[in-house]
Structure 1
Amino acid sequence: MLYAYRPTASQLERLPAGDDLAEALWVDLLNPLPEQVAAVERLGVTVPSLADMEEIEVSNRLYRDGETEVLTIVLPGLDKEKRPKLGPVAFLITPERLFTVRYHTPRPFETFAAHAAQTSAGFAGRRRLFLGLTEEIIARLADLLEGVGQSVDAQSHIAFRDPPPRGDDLADVLRALGRQSEQVAKYRHALLTLDRALSNFGLGLKIERDKILRDILKAQVGDIQALTVHGDFLANRVAQLTDVTLGLINLEQSDTSRILSVVAVLFLPPTLVASVYGMNFPFIPGLENPHGYLIATALMIGSALGTYLLSKWQKWL
């Protein structure tokens, strides 16, 4: 799909389908069709493919193509099946306009046009538009990290509640913490790529000597650093809660093993008595005694009871 926006006095206005793209300040490509790629390339830019955007090398993510500055960052979003996905997004900044190329749907791209004028950078020009969009992205990542923090708090309440959780509750906590750990790792990765892209973008601002945009950029870099620290804090909390949950699981398993061990010990003396009287020898003392069965049964019960009382006295139970 292709979305094109032109600036008005108060907002970004989407161009109707079929209008001349030369009027647009921002052209957004989402899973573009070949004819849409061709229409954009007629404006003098080369649209990178998904394979190009997924390259790990910095030279394929942050570079200049003639007068076009290409910055690729990795952002969380949804794929075609509405499943969470971490994918690359390319920003192509030309002297006339901003192009974005993506193959999934990060939420800032759906919300930015409605309140672009409310961002600190605004949308008067392609560089301000880029910084306004990155401001929206940073705010979204902050919201996502806050959501992880709330989820970690909920799991913390479960792990430390009284009485302590057991069985399936602990397994659910462990799975939830695993998901949150993955989310934090993805958001930290997104912040890292965004920080690198803004650092590269700042080199162009130094050449143009635009102090206002440099101040906005500096503030955004500071926000990214603060969110990175917050992400580290959340990662440590998740790791700590995971250790606590595993410890509770080990304690529960230890309690079960201890109970089984005690039961086994209690039945050892009766088993010994039964084994003695169950031996196939012709002559066993008391074998002909009419009360032999009762005596053997009493010995087994008495030995089990004696073992139990000894365990209680020694505080093994």
Structure 2
Amino acid sequence: MLNAYVPRAGGLALLPPGEDLEHARWIDLYRPLDSQARLMRGFGVDVPTLEDMEEIEISNRLYREGDTAYMTAVLPGELPDGKPVAMPVAFILTAERLVTVRHHAPRPFTTYPARAERSAAGVASADHIFLGLIDEIVARLADILEGVGKVLDHTGTMVLEKGDANAGTELRETLIKIGRQAEVMARVRVALLTIERVLGFYTTDAQDHADSSRLRALTKSVNRDVQALEVHADFLGSRLSMNVDATLGLINLQQNNTVRVLSVVAALFLPPTMIASIYGMNFDRMPELHWAWGYPAALCAMVCSALLIYLLARWKRWL
């Protein structure tokens, strides 16, 4: 899918199909076809494949070919089936336009065109559109972190304040929920790291532009936001670890309570078992075997011994 945008009042307008792409300032390629990749070569842009973008080497993710900068960041988004993933997105920046290549659907690529004009960067050039899109992505990451914080508030309150009333199933569900937030946090952290690298690479060439002072100021502003989100992500990571520890601690306490009850119940039957074992022996000389009240006495001894163990357990608060 190819979406081309041109500057219009209020933001970026989608170029109608069939229009000349020469006027487009931003071309967004979503799961590009071979024909679309060949079309981009006519504009001097070599569209990287998904395998190329997935290379973890910095030299493969951040490089220049002539006057064209190729920058790749790993962003959270969704696949067509709705599955959340973190996949690479290529930002190809030329003097005339920005070309993005992606194989999943990060939300900022949908929300940015309508809000581009209201962003601090504006849409005066491809560089401004690039920085505005990065700023929109950073804002989306901030929203994701805020959502993680709300989930941790809920789970932390439930575990720490209502832990005694929670059943084991609820605690397991809470642990699964926290684990999912850990996955979300991991995707956000990777996105922040790669965006920071992209901005660092872009800054090295920003002084060559006509509006270099404004572009550097915008880049520094976005970079400060990224660094602030990294600090916030570290804070949420510590809270996440605390919630995991608290949940696992309560699960262990419940398991210990179960084992303690079973141990006390087993102890209740130890003296009766010993008595029954003694009188179950087949020796010739066992005077008690001929007592008229031997059987009731043995039963009474079993009950009394079990009762004594039960009272001891209650006194020691083992039950």
TM-score range, shorter chain: over 0.9
> 1:263 corresponds to which residue?
265
Matched, 1:184 2:180: no
> 1:160 corresponds to which residue?
160
The change in CA–CA distance for 1:312 and 1:80 in structure 2 (over 3 A counts) is closer
> 1:310 corresponds to which residue?
312
Matched, 1:242 2:244: yes
Of 224-233 and 201-210, deviating more is 201-210
> 1:147 corresponds to which residue?
147
Distance (whole Å) between structure 1 residues aligned to residue 28 and residue 307 of structure 2: 80
> 1:281 corresponds to which residue?
283
Give the superposition deviation at 1:80.
2.0
Give the superposition deviation at 1:71.
0.8
Of 305-314 and 281-290, deviating more is 305-314
Judge conservation of contact 2:30–2:103 (CA < 8 Å) in 1.
yes
Judge conservation of contact 2:6–2:14 (CA < 8 Å) in 1.
yes
Distance (whole Å) between structure 2 residues aligned to residue 235 and residue 222 of structure 1: 20
Matched, 1:89 2:80: no
Give the superposition deviation at 1:160.
1.6
> 1:212 corresponds to which residue?
214
Give the superposition deviation at 1:309.
2.6
> 1:58 corresponds to which residue?
58
Give the superposition deviation at 1:316.
4.4
Give the superposition deviation at 1:67.
0.9
Judge conservation of contact 2:11–2:118 (CA < 8 Å) in 1.
no
One-letter code aligned to 1:192: L
Q: Secondary structure at the match of 1:280?
A: coil
Judge conservation of contact 2:75–2:88 (CA < 8 Å) in 1.
yes
Judge conservation of contact 1:181–1:238 (CA < 8 Å) in 2.
yes
Of 207-216 and 294-303, deviating more is 207-216
Q: Secondary structure at the match of 1:56?
A: coil
> 1:193 corresponds to which residue?
194
What is the CA deviation profile of residues 233-256 of structure 1, one whole-angstrom value per residue up to 9, with x for unaligned ones? 111111111011111111111111
Of 18-27 and 204-213, deviating more is 204-213
Q: Secondary structure at the match of 1:112?
A: helix
Matched, 1:43 2:43: yes
Q: Secondary structure at the match of 1:286?
A: helix
Unaligned runs of at least 5 residues, structure 2: none
Distance (whole Å) between structure 1 residues aligned to residue 203 and residue 83 of structure 2: 34
Distance (whole Å) between structure 2 residues aligned to residue 177 and residue 312 of structure 1: 37
Of 5-14 and 31-40, deviating more is 5-14
Give the superposition deviation at 1:11.
2.2
Unaligned runs of at least 5 residues, structure 1: none
> 2:8 corresponds to which residue?
8
Judge conservation of contact 2:2–2:30 (CA < 8 Å) in 1.
yes
Alignment TM-score, normalising by the size of structure 2 = 0.96
Of 110-119 and 159-168, deviating more is 159-168
Distance (whole Å) between structure 1 residues aligned to residue 189 and residue 312 of structure 2: 57
Q: Secondary structure at the match of 2:17?
A: coil
What is the CA deviation profile of residues 69-91 of structure 1, one whole-angstrom value per residue up to 9, with x for unaligned ones? 11100100011212111000001
Judge conservation of contact 1:166–1:249 (CA < 8 Å) in 2.
no
What is the CA deviation profile of residues 185-217 of structure 1, one whole-angstrom value per residue up to 9, with x for unaligned ones? 110110000011011111111233621121111
Give the superposition deviation at 1:36.
1.1
Give the superposition deviation at 1:66.
1.0
Q: Secondary structure at the match of 1:118?
A: coil
Distance (whole Å) between structure 2 residues aligned to residue 173 and residue 262 of structure 1: 30
Alignment TM-score, normalising by the size of structure 1 = 0.97
Distance (whole Å) between structure 1 residues aligned to residue 317 and residue 250 of structure 2: 22
State the superposition RMSD in angstroms: 1.3
Distance (whole Å) between structure 2 residues aligned to residue 47 and residue 315 of structure 1: 71
